[in-house]
């Protein structure tokens, strides 16, 4: 199209204006023709005017077709450009895919973020689903990241349906990337126990002239015991906290859940310990992640126990076996959000040897045995202690520090702490 030609939108307006003029002319000529006699005077002007209208309609149709063609061509060029840009990144991603298994959790998150930012959501979804089964089941940080990526892709597909792109970001992709914390993905936590590899037993060389011993008669093999029904089986729980300061409280929740389930009919939930996954800070509610479909009822039972132990009402269960089909049997995960301390076991202490600004101490822990262990018997001169007692921290007026002994929260004061803290 030359610079002198009007754009298709202006052509449409010109054709419509011309068509309106022809129709107006025809409406004036027809009454005039009726007043005149003779078939020529009647037919010829009408034919000319009608022909002009038909030509105008044809021109308008051609202009519309040209406009549609330009739009389709632009959309096709847009799609080709998006495919080319994704293909440029594809080589980088596939070249590095062989090292994906060896990357730490933070490296895997960065790898997934490249996929999210480079590919259209449907392509990224297929790519992430292909990577998910390759993650080590013990690498809970990476499992969380890939599941989070699939969730964000699904939200992008739902919100961006029918909208291929914008001026700011022309090719559709996931813009809500997964955060990577400065620290390692897994700050502290459990490490899987190595599986011992049996070594071959050397076979002594035969003595010359000796007759080979007859092969031993195989002992009868007892039938394998039938595993107990799911209703009475143990399901080991791996707890995941998002902050180091929540670790102690998460351990107390795990102990409470194990104790409550051990004394009830149903699945027992012994705790495997607590792992701190700092990259999962976006977890906003209790989440029970189960691996196999037959664990759904147990997951609901576990959610109820965790809610009771933590004093929280929000939560959900989530099946992740579709994305991670190689996860083992007999285990389940609990992901905990940032945990507020509403109830704890606290004690108060005064120490005349301390500076005046630190004369009194209030220290709290989630469980009584933890509090008793930290308190200990302090028989030093000038030291007075209360017993560890259940304390409603929602009624306390204090600004505690975290990271005390065994994850305790504590505060110093020049004056004694009032109730609800236990009194000296």
The H or E element spanning position 391 is: strand 389-392
Contact by Cβ (8 Å): 66, 1: no
How do beta strands 343-351 and 316-319 pair?
unpaired
Place of tokens 């209790």: 286
**The pLDDT value given to residue 108:** 78
**The pLDDT value given to residue 338:** 82
**The pLDDT value given to residue 221:** 46
Per-position pLDDT tens, the chain of length 424: 445 555 555 656 666 677 677 777 766 666 665 565 555 555 555 565 666 666 667 766 777 777 777 777 766 666 666 666 566 555 655 666 667 777 777 777 788 887 777 777 777 787 788 777 777 777 777 787 788 788 888 877 777 654 555 444 456 666 666 665 543 333 333 433 333 333 334 444 444 454 555 555 544 444 444 444 344 578 999 999 988 878 888 998 999 999 999 877 778 999 999 998 876 767 888 999 999 999 999 999 999 999 998 888 889 999 988 888 888 889 999 999 888 788 889 999 999 999 999 999 999 998 888 899 999 888 888 999 999 999 999 899 898 887 788 878 899 999 999 999 999 9
| Dist CA 12 CA 8 (whole Å) | 6
**The pLDDT value given to residue 249:** 85
pTM (2 decimals)? 0.50
**The pLDDT value given to residue 161:** 55
Contact by Cβ (8 Å): 27, 20: no
161 by Cβ neighbours in 10 Å (0-12 / 13-18 / 19+) ranks as: exposed
**The pLDDT value given to residue 104:** 78
The structure tokens listed for 315 are 């939560």
| Residues with Cβ within 8 Å of residue 297, at least 6 apart in sequence | 230
| Dist CA 278 CA 280 (whole Å) | 5
| Dist CA 258 CA 272 (whole Å) | 10
Contact by Cβ (8 Å): 57, 142: no
**The pLDDT value given to residue 220:** 46
**The pLDDT value given to residue 17:** 72
């Amino acid at each position: 199209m030359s610079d002198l030609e009007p754009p298709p939108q202006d052509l449409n307006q010109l054709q419509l204006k011309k068509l309106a003029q022809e129709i107006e002319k025809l409406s004036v000529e027809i009454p005039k023709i009726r007043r005149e006699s003779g078939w020529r005077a009647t037919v010829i002007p009408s034919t000319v005017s009608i022909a002009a209208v038909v030509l105008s309609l044809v021109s308008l149709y051609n202009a519309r077709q040209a406009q549609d063609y330009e739009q389709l061509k632009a959309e096709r060029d847009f799609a080709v450009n998006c495919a080319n840009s994704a293909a440029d990144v594809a080589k980088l991603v596939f070249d590095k895919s062989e090292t994906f298994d060896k990357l730490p959790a933070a490296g895997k998150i960065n790898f997934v973020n490249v996929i999210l930012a480079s590919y259209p959501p449907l392509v990224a979804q297929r790519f992430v689903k292909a990577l998910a089964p390759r993650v080590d089941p013990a690498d809970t940080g990476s499992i969380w990241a890939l599941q989070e990526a699939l969730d964000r892709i699904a939200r992008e597909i739902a919100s961006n349906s029918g909208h291929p792109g914008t001026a700011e970001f022309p090719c559709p992709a996931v813009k809500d990337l997964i955060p990577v914390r400065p620290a390692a993905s897994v700050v502290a936590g459990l490490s899987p126990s190595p599986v011992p590899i049996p070594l071959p037993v050397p076979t002594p060389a035969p003595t010359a002239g000796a007759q080979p011993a007859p092969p031993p008669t195989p002992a009868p093999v007892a039938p394998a015991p039938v595993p107990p029904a799911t209703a009475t089986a143990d399901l080991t729980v791996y707890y995941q906290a998002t902050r180091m300061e929540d670790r102690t409280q998460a351990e107390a929740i795990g102990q409470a859940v194990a104790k409550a389930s051990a004394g009830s009919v149903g699945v027992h939930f012994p705790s495997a310990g607590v792992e701190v996954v700092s990259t999962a800070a976006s977890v906003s509610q209790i989440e029970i992640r189960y691996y196999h479909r037959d664990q759904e009822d147990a997951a609901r039972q576990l959610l109820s126990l965790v809610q009771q132990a933590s004093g929280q009402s929000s939560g959900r269960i989530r099946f992740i076996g579709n994305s991670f089909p190689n996860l083992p049997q007999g285990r389940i995960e609990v992901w905990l959000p940032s945990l507020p301390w509403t109830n704890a076991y606290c004690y108060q202490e005064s120490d005349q040897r301390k500076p005046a600004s630190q004369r009194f101490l209030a220290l709290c822990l989630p469980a009584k045995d933890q509090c008793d262990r930290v308190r200990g018997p302090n028989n030093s001169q000038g030291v007075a202690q209360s017993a560890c007692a259940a304390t409603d921290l929602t009624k306390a007026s204090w600004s505690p520090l975290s990271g005390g002994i065994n994850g305790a929260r504590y505060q110093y004061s020049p004056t004694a702490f009032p109730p609800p803290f236990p009194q000296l």
